[in-house]
């Protein structure tokens, strides 16, 4: 029986690599990202939306894409057979906002690898890597990322359920929650309160726009033939875009009175072009430091992200 977690793979645990961005982040990158996720670009000018630096391949400085047309960091694991990689989820912690003039260094470290079997008995390798983002000796954010490696030829991504195989029929986009539905300055939320949901209809141009905003040209997100070769039913929405939408959902609600300090989420099922994603949340805890929100993302009656939560801190007066 084939095993993906070989001694050669184990030997790579602890490996680190550092990238120094060749230029400042820039207001243009911030504006483009805000537009791609449906955020208000006037809010994000000098400071970036929190998840941007964790999602963009701009920071590697690489000029030659890999075989998937990807410019971001990848782990060249010595796997015993060809595999496709799918994102399993992320845990972001934000210490200070990234600014347009920051030149950001990123250090990735490979920290864990675990093998499991899917329903058909095929091996799956779950790999955890951690990233630290710094600028001017300040730690901006950390990112613990889970990647799922599946042998090529497997029928579908790890989280894909049978009802996720077909692209949803196109329909009218559902309106996003107006920005006015948010906490007023000085207002504290109540535990158990449902925050206004964020609805986003996703078509292929939306996936392409997000890929361009994050310097992510991975063909899994726009090329049907390439997606099929990787075992996906169709081009998939980047799993990190779901994190960006969750962040936007809670930040629209809290307004300028709070800042996002942590966002953790697990991807459970793929999102395809034609799907409408609904980001929903409920206030979990409230204290003198801030509040937390329990989150999820659904497509119809299908849960695509869970568990997930956000932690927010009160902004200085």
Alpha carbons 163 and 300: distance in angstroms, whole number: 11
For residue 294, the cross-strand partners are: 282, 309
Comparing C-alpha atoms, which of 51, 127, 32, 112 is closest to residue 310?
51
- 143-153 residue pLDDT tens: 999 999 999 87
Q: What is the pLDDT of residue 142?
A: 98
* Model confidence at 140: pLDDT above 70: yes
What average pLDDT does this structure show over 210-221? 94
Alpha carbons 271 and 275: distance in angstroms, whole number: 7
Residues in CB range of 133: below 8 A, 6 or more apart: 53, 54, 59, 98, 104, 105, 106, 139, 140, 141, 142, 143
Residue at 1 is within a domain: no
Residue at 278 is within a domain: yes
**% of the chain exceeding 70 in pLDDT:** 91
Can you read off the two tokens belonging to residue 102? 């920051």
For residue 291, the cross-strand partners are: 286, 312
For the entire predicted model, the pTM comes to 0.89
Residue at 178 is within a domain: yes
At 159, is the pLDDT very low, low, confident or very high (cuts 50, 70, 90)?
A: very low
Residue at 224 is within a domain: yes
Q: Which residue has the higher pLDDT, 173 or 301?
A: 301
* Model confidence at 39: pLDDT above 80: yes
Residue 55, SS3 per DSSP: helix
At 163, is the pLDDT very low, low, confident or very high (cuts 50, 70, 90)?
A: very low
Residue at 45 is within a domain: yes
What average pLDDT does this structure show over 295-304? 97
The number of folded domains in the chain is 1
Q: Which residue has the higher pLDDT, 175 or 116?
A: 116
Can you read off the two tokens belonging to residue 164? 């996720």
Residue at 24 is within a domain: yes
Q: Which residue has the higher pLDDT, 157 or 247?
A: 247
What average pLDDT does this structure show over 109-122? 94
Residue at 2 is within a domain: no
At 231, is the pLDDT very low, low, confident or very high (cuts 50, 70, 90)?
A: confident
Q: Which of 5-9, 11-15, 160-164 has the lowest mean pLDDT?
A: 160-164
The torsion angles phi and psi of 35, rounded to 5 degrees, stand at -65, -40
CATH classification of the domain holding 267: 3.10.129.10
Can you read off the two tokens belonging to residue 165? 């195989």
What average pLDDT does this structure show over 276-303? 97
* Model confidence at 141: pLDDT above 70: yes
What average pLDDT does this structure show over 266-270? 95
Q: What is the pLDDT of residue 5?
A: 97
Q: What is the pLDDT of residue 317?
A: 59
What average pLDDT does this structure show over 25-53? 97
Domain membership of residue 55 as a residue range: 7-314
Residue at 174 is within a domain: yes
């Amino acid at each position: 029986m084939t095993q993906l977690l070989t001694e050669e793979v184990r030997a790579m645990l602890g490996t680190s690599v550092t990238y120094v961005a060749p230029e400042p982040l820039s207001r243009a990158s911030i504006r483009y990202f805000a537009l791609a996720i449906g955020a208000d670009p006037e809010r994000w000018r000098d400071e970036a939306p929190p998840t941007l630096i964790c999602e963009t391949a701009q920071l590697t400085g690489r000029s030659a894409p890999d075989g998937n047309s990807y410019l971001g960091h990848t782990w060249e694991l010595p796997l015993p057979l060809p595999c496709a990689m799918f994102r399993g989820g992320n845990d972001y912690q934000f210490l200070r906002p990234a600014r347009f003039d920051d030149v950001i260094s990123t250090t990735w470290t490979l920290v864990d690898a675990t093998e499991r079997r899917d329903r058909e008995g095929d091996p799956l390798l779950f790999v955890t890597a951690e990233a630290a983002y710094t600028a001017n000796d300040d730690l901006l954010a950390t990112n613990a990322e889970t990647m799922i490696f599946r042998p090529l030829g497997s029928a579908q991504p790890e989280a894909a359920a049978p009802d996720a195989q077909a692209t949803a029929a196109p329909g009218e986009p559902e309106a996003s929650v107006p920005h006015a539905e948010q906490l007023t300055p000085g207002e504290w939320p109540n535990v158990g309160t449902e925050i206004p949901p964020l609805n986003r209809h996703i078509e292929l141009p939306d996936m392409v726009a997000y890929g361009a905003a994050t310097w992510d040209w991975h063909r899994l997100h726009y090329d049907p033939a390439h997606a099929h070769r990787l075992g996906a039913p169709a081009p998939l929405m980047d799993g990190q875009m779901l994190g960006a939408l969750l962040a936007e959902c809670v930040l629209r609600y809290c307004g300028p009175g709070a800042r996002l300090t942590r966002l953790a989420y697990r991807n459970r099922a793929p999102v395809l072009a034609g799907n409408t994603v609904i980001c929903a949340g409920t206030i979990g805890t409230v204290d003198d430091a801030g509040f937390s929100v329990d989150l999820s993302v659904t497509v119809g009656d299908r849960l695509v992200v869970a568990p997930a939560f956000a932690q927010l801190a009160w902004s200085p007066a």
